[in-house]
Amino acid sequence: MTIQRKHTMYHSTIVDADPDTVWAVVRDALKVVAIVSGDAVKDVCWAEGGAVERVPSRYDFTLVFNDGLVQQEVAGRNEVERSQTYRAVAPATGVDGYVATIRVRPITNDPGRSFFEWSRELTIADDADTEVVETIIAMMAKQADSIRDYFAQK
Show contacts of 30-35: CB within 8 Å, 24+ apart. Answer: 30/59, 32/102, 32/147, 33/59, 33/61, 35/146, 35/147, 35/150
Phi, psi of 114 (to 5 degrees): -135, 155
The CATH code for residues 6-152 is 3.30.530.20
The reply to whether the predicted model has a pTM over 0.85 is yes
The Cα 83–Cα 85 span in angstroms is 7
Q: 3-class SS at 121?
A: strand
How is the chain split into domains, by residue range? 6-152
Task: Please list the pLDDT of the chain residue by residue as tens digits (154 residues).
Answer: 555 688 899 999 999 999 999 999 999 999 999 999 989 899 999 999 999 999 999 999 998 888 889 999 999 999 999 999 999 998 877 788 899 999 999 999 999 999 999 999 998 888 888 887 788 888 888 999 999 999 997 6
